[in-house]
């Protein structure tokens, strides 16, 4: 792992973040998009954010993001946000979340699988 700065990934991170904000605010009425697609995309947001500042093995990073996402989801099962004293509606309460779902874990896994396939099928990587 090497610290670096990659503008391309940072701009992609900002773009994906704006999509997530759009999903949370304007597309909240579209259940499928809000409930599932947002969770698939959030692991991609974490990936591009990490790649903005760190040069590392893609497969290990994707696995780490999946593990991290699952840990956050399990923290919801144990109501960690409430136990830490975050009020409902506060930023940290929203970030940590408040309801455990196996479907969310499947969505994170689907997002990580898509990332893995994108990395493996990337023609630039195959030239090296």
Could you tell me where the beta strands, DSSP code E, fall in 1-128?
Answer: 2-3, 54-55
Distance set, CA 107 to CA 6, 8, 28 (Å): 27, 25, 17
Which stretches of the chain score pLDDT less than 50?
A: none
Given a contact cutoff of 8 angstroms between Cβ atoms, the answer to whether 53 and 3 are in contact is yes
Q: pTM score, two decimals?
A: 0.88
Task: Look at residue 1 in the predicted model and tell me its pLDDT.
Answer: 84
User: Secondary structure of the chain: what % helix, strand, coil (to 5)?
Assistant: 75, 5, 20
């Amino acid at each position: 792992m090497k610290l670096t700065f990659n503008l391309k990934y940072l701009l992609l991170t900002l773009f994906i973040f704006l999509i997530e904000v759009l999903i949370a605010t304007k597309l909240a009425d579209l259940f499928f998009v809000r409930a599932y697609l947002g969770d698939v995309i959030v692991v991609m947001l974490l990936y591009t954010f990490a790649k903005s500042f760190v040069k590392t093995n893609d497969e290990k990073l994707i696995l780490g993001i999946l593990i991290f996402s699952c840990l956050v989801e399990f923290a919801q099962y144990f109501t960690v946000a409430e136990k830490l004293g975050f009020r409902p509606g506060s930023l940290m309460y929203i970030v940590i979340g408040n309801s455990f779902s196996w479907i969310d874990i499947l969505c994170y896994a689907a997002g990580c699988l898509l990332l893995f396939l994108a990395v493996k099928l990337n023609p630039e990587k195959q030239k090296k």
